[in-house]
Amino acid sequence: MKFRDGMWLVAEGMQVEYAEEVYETNPTENGLSLLCPSRKIFSRGDTLNRSTLKIDIEAAFDGVISVETTHWAGAVHRGPHFELYPNGRPKVEAKISKSDKGTTLSSGSLSATIHPDEHNFDIRFHSTDGSKQLTSLLSRSVGLAYNPAPSNPLQTGDMRDFKHYIFTQTTLGVGESVHGLGERFGAFNKVGQSVQLWNADGGTSSDQAYKNVSFWLSSKGYGIFIDTPGKVDLEVGSERTNRVQTSIEGQRLKWYIIYGPTPKEVLQRYSILTGKPGKVPSWSFGLWLSTSFTTNYDEATVNSFLEGMKERDTQVDVFHYDCFWMKAFTWSDFVFDAERFPDPKSQITRLKSSGLANKVCVWINPYIAQHGAAFETAAKNGYLLKRKNGDIWQWDLWQAGMALVDFTNPEAVKWYVECLNGLFDQGVDAIKTDFGERIPSLDVEWFDKSLDPKKMHNYYAFIYNKVVYEALQQRYGDDQAVLFARSACAGTQRFPLQWGGDCESTAEAMGESVRGGLSLGLSGFAFWSVDIGGFEGYPPPWIYKRWVAFGLLCSHSRLHGSGSYRVPWTIDNDDKSEEGCSRTLSKWTALKTRLMPYLFAQAAKAIDQGIPLSLRATCLEFPEDPTAWYLDRQFMVGDSILAAPIFDESGEVEFYLPKGKWTCFFTNKTRDGPGWFKEKHGFGSLPLYVREKTVLVLGKSDIRGVVYDYATDVEVCLYHIEEGAGADLRDNAGKTLGSLKVDAQGELKGTEILKGSWQTSKDGRKIDDSYSETIQWL
C-alpha cells in the first residue's frame, strides 16, 4: 500500500495527514502518551479543524517497547487478538527521564527518546546505554490516510464509502537488511519489496505466502512485531527507500520494537511475547513417507511401499496417508475409504508391530464437504461458518459444497476433537493439518459475533492448528503432539511442526524452499520441513537425490508428491548402484539417524531460545559478519553444523564459510573462513562443515530408526576444541542426561553419562575413505 507518488506527490485518490509535531507529552502507568496534531501549532487557531494522532509508547518488558498510534479512539477494537505472553508476562519496569536530548522512556536495555524541540516530530529508539541507534520515527513518518480522498470534511461523517488507514515509517540505515515476515519464497533480504501479510494458497513460486507472520528482524539488532492478525501492508524500502512503512486499514496500529542486540536475543524476546515453539518427540525427526496426493493407493500399496523401503535399508519412522484415505467428495469426514482400507485399525497395528513404520499420520483440513458423513451433523448443530443471511457459507472450490468449521463455537471444537479422537482410537499418532488459508472475509458472520472477519482470515490458522495440537496433547501427552501444518500466523510456532507447501520438482523450487525455510525460522519457528523431491511434477533422479540430501538436513523430513510416488525405486527404475536413488536415500536417512544425539539436544536449545533448529540462517550464528545476512543458499543445522544444498546437475556448489576453522564432515579436511569456496560432490555428500570448538556426539552407525539410546555406544567427535567446548545430551524422551565439557587440559569431562562401548575421535570423526573419491575441491 503506497500513499505517495514519489517524494513530492500524494498517490492518486489518497488524502494523507501526518503527525507534524509532538504537542503534548504525558506520562502514563508504563510509558508516555504523545498528542501529535497534523500541522504545526503556532497559535490557538491552528488547533481547529485538524486531525490528531495519539501515540502511546509503553515499556512492555526488558528490551521491548510498544508503540500504538490511534486516530479515532472511539472505533470498536474488534478481535481476534493475538494471545500474547502465553507463559506469563515478565515484570515491567518503566523509567522516564528528561535531559537536553529530550524525554526518554527506558524499558531495561531499550529506550525511546522524544526530541525536546518545539514543533518537531522526532522519536529515536536506541539501546539504553547509548551504544546503538536502532531506528527512528521522523518527519512525515506517522500518519493517517483516506481513500478516496474526501472533498469536504463533512463527508467523513459517513465512513461507509471511505477506507481509513494508519501507517508508520521506521527508518532504515545504510546497509541495513530486513528478514522474516513468515515463510516467504522470494529474496531473503526484504528491502525493496512490497509485502502483504494475507495468508494465501499460492505455492512457492509467487509473492503469496501460506504463513504470514507479522514480525521482521533487522540486521541492526532489533525486530518489529506488528500486533494485529488482520491484513498488513509493508513497503520495505519500496515507497521510501530509507524507511519500512507499515500500514493497516483501521483506526489504530500497534507494534513492538524488540532489542537484541544479537538476533538470537531478539527472537528469544519475541518468543516471550508470542510463545515459544512447542516440543516435538524424538520419533518425529525420522523419515516420513507419504502416499502422495492424487496417486492411486490402497492397503496393498502402502504395504509394498514400506516393505520396499525396508528391503533397501531405509527405515521409515512415520507413514503418512494423504487425502485419499477418505473417499472422493467426502473430505474431511474422518472416515477411511472402506473399499481400499477395510480395517484401518488392524492395518495400522500390523504396520507398527512389524516395524515397517513406527508411527502413522493422516491428512485432514478444516473444510467439510457436502457429500461427506460429517456435513449433516455439523450443519444441523451450527458448527459451520455462516453467511450474514444465515446460510452456511459454501463454495465448490476444492470440495463440492465445501463448508468451513467455525472454531469460534466451543461446541464445534468439542465435536471436531471427538472426530479426531476417533482417528486416534484407530492408531493415528500425528495429523497433517493442511489448508486454512482461503478463509472468507466478506459476507460471513462467525459464531462469536464480536470478531472481525478480516482479522479472522489470518488468525484462523492459529485456532485451527491449536485445536488439533491440543487434542493430540490431551491424548498422547504434552510433548508427544506433532502436526504437519501448512498455514500459520504469529504465535503458531507453539504448535509444531510446519512444512513448506506446494513446490515444483525443480532446482529453482528447491532454492525457493530454502529461502522459505530460512525466513520462517527468522519469524520464531523452530521446526520446518519440505516435500522432498518437490510436490508438483516428476523429479528427475538428480533433483530427487539432491533434494533428499537437503530434506534430511531439515529439522523434519518427508517424502511427498502430488501425482507421483516418492519412493526411490520409482524415480530411477530401481537403480541399485551407490549413486542410485535408493542408496542415496538410505545413506542420508542413516546420517540423520546418527545425528540424533546432537539434533535432539539442539532442539531443546532452539525451543528455549525461540530460534530455528534447521533451517537456521547463518546470520543467527554470525551476526557480525555482513555477508551472513545475505546467505540464502545455505543454512546451519543447530549451532555447529553448516550445510549447503546443491542446485546444479553437475554437482558443483559454491558456499561461504564465516570466520573460523571448519572441518568437512565427510573427509575431516579443514578450511579456514571467512571466504567463498567451490566443491563438486557425488550424491552421497554435500558441503557439510563442522564449526571449530565443537563436541559432536554421534549415534552408532548401524542403528535404524531415530528412537534409540543417545548415550550408548556413541562416538564423541572433537573438532578443534578448547576449554569450555561441550555438548549437552538428552535421552529420547527429552530428559536431560548431562553435559560433556572440555577442561583446561583439553580433557573431556562428564563422560560418566555415556554407556556401552563409546569412543572419542579427535580431529573429527572416523571417516569412510570412499568420500575422498566423490568430493572435489575446485
> By the 8 A CB rule, do 179 and 521 touch?
no
> By the 8 A CB rule, do 755 and 746 touch?
no
Task: Report residue 14 CA to chain centroid gap.
Answer: 35
630 and 601, same structural domain? no
Render pLDDT for 446-459 as a digit per residue (tens, 0 to 9): 999 999 999 999 99
Q: What is the spatial distance between Cα 215 and Cα 209, in angstroms, rounded to a whole number? A: 14
Render pLDDT for 570-598 as a digit per residue (tens, 0 to 9): 999 999 999 999 999 999 999 999 999 99
- Out of 201, 502, 536, 728, the active site residue is 502
629 and 596, same structural domain? no
Mean pLDDT of 750-760: 97
Residue 681, domain extent:
619-777
Bridge partners of 395, per DSSP, are 402
Enter the DSSP assignment of 484: -
Mean pLDDT of 539-568: 98
**Nearest Cα residue to 144 out of 240, 10, 309:** 10
* Residue 375 forms part of a structural domain: no
> By the 8 A CB rule, do 694 and 761 touch?
no
**Residue % of the chain over a pLDDT of 70:** 100
Q: What is the spatial distance between Cα 160 and Cα 123, in angstroms, rounded to a whole number? A: 34
Q: Which amino acid is at 514?
A: V
Backbone angles phi, psi at 359, to 5 degrees: -140, 160
* Residue 210 forms part of a structural domain: no
- Out of 437, 452, 536, 632, the active site residue is 437
List the CATH number of the domain containing 554: 3.20.20.80
Active site residue 343: no
680 and 770, same structural domain? yes
Look at the chain and report how many structural domains it folds into.
Answer: 2
Q: How far apart are the first and last CA of the chain?
A: 47
DSSP per-residue codes, 76-100: ---B------TT-PPPP-EEEEEET
**Residue 756: left (phi > 0), alpha (psi -120 to 50), or beta?**
left
> By the 8 A CB rule, do 364 and 374 touch?
no
Backbone angles phi, psi at 370, to 5 degrees: -60, -30
590 and 630, same structural domain? no
Res. 769 pLDDT band, cuts 50 70 90: confident
Q: How far is CA 688 from CA 244, 328, 472, 636, 675, in A?
A: 36, 44, 35, 9, 15
* Residue 586 forms part of a structural domain: yes
CB atoms within 10 A of CB 216: 24
Q: What is the spatial distance between Cα 366 and Cα 203, in angstroms, rounded to a whole number? A: 19
* Residue 104 forms part of a structural domain: no
Active site residue 20: no
- pLDDT for position 117: 94
Q: Pseudo-torsion of CA 613, 618, 623, 626, nearest 10°? A: -160
Q: What is the CA radius of gyration of the chain?
A: 27
> By the 8 A CB rule, do 107 and 65 touch?
yes
**Nearest Cα residue to 524 out of 215, 134, 103:** 215
- pLDDT for position 770: 84
- pLDDT for position 115: 97
> By the 8 A CB rule, do 185 and 515 touch?
yes
Task: Report residue 255 CA to chain centroid gap.
Answer: 19
Render pLDDT for 615-657 as a digit per residue (tens, 0 to 9): 999 999 999 999 999 999 999 999 999 999 999 999 999 999 9
Res. 768 pLDDT band, cuts 50 70 90: confident
509 and 594, same structural domain? yes
Q: What is the spatial distance between Cα 136 and Cα 134, in angstroms, rounded to a whole number? A: 7
C-alpha cell at 532: 522432498
**Nearest Cα residue to 367 out of 318, 329, 324, 404:** 404
> By the 8 A CB rule, do 708 and 596 touch?
yes
| Residue 291 scores a pLDDT above 90 | yes
Q: What is the spatial distance between Cα 227 and Cα 678, in angstroms, rounded to a whole number? A: 43
569 and 483, same structural domain? yes
pTM here is 0.97
599 and 482, same structural domain? yes
| Residue 388 scores a pLDDT above 90 | yes
> By the 8 A CB rule, do 331 and 298 touch?
no
603 and 630, same structural domain? no
**521 contacts: CB under 8 Å, gap ≥ 6:** 528, 611, 612, 615, 616, 617, 620
643 and 595, same structural domain? no
Antiparallel, parallel or unpaired: β 759-761 and 775-777: unpaired
- Out of 56, 68, 322, 434, the active site residue is 434
- pLDDT for position 32: 98
Dihedral of CA 210/212/218/222: which sign?
negative
642 and 572, same structural domain? no
> By the 8 A CB rule, do 384 and 407 touch?
no
Q: What is the spatial distance between Cα 56 and Cα 35, in angstroms, rounded to a whole number? A: 9
Dihedral of CA 369/370/374/379: which sign?
positive
Mean pLDDT of 726-735: 97
Domain boundary among 560, 587, 609: 609
Enter the DSSP assignment of 628: G
Classify burial at 697, counting beta carbons within 10 Å of its beta carbon; exposed 0-12, middle 13-18, buried 19 or more: buried
Q: What is the spatial distance between Cα 368 and Cα 381, in angstroms, rounded to a whole number? A: 14
Active site residue 443: no
> By the 8 A CB rule, do 657 and 674 touch?
yes
* Residue 275 forms part of a structural domain: no
Domain boundary among 558, 581, 609: 609
* Residue 391 forms part of a structural domain: no
CB atoms within 10 A of CB 632: 18
Helix (H) or strand (E) holding 596: helix 596-609
- pLDDT for position 522: 98
**Nearest Cα residue to 758 out of 711, 694, 703, 702:** 711
Helix (H) or strand (E) holding 609: helix 596-609
Q: How far is CA 768 from CA 52, 262, 313, 606, 771, in A?
A: 71, 38, 18, 31, 6
Mean pLDDT of 49-58: 97
Classify burial at 758, counting beta carbons within 10 Å of its beta carbon; exposed 0-12, middle 13-18, buried 19 or more: middle
* Residue 331 forms part of a structural domain: yes
- pLDDT for position 314: 97
- pLDDT for position 326: 97
627 and 563, same structural domain? no
* Residue 654 forms part of a structural domain: yes
| Residue 773 scores a pLDDT above 90 | no
Mean pLDDT score across all residues of the chain: 97
Q: What is the largest CA-CA distance in the chain?
A: 87
List the CATH number of the domain containing 717: 2.60.40.1180
DSSP per-residue codes, 661-703: EEEETTT--EEEEEEEEEEEE-TT---EEEETTEEEEE--TT-
Domain boundary among 609, 644, 678: 609
C-alpha cell at 307: 516393505
CB atoms within 10 A of CB 757: 9
Render pLDDT for 77-111 as a digit per residue (tens, 0 to 9): 999 999 999 999 999 999 999 999 999 999 999 99
Up-side HSE of residue 377: CA atoms within 13 Å toward CB?
14
629 and 583, same structural domain? no
- pLDDT for position 310: 97
**Residue % of the chain over a pLDDT of 90:** 99
DSSP per-residue codes, 248-300: EESSEEEEEEEE-SSHHHHHHHHHHHH-PPPP--GGGGSEEEE--SS----HH
Render pLDDT for 651-691 as a digit per residue (tens, 0 to 9): 999 999 999 999 999 999 999 999 999 999 999 999 999 99
Task: Report residue 212 CA to chain centroid gap.
Answer: 9
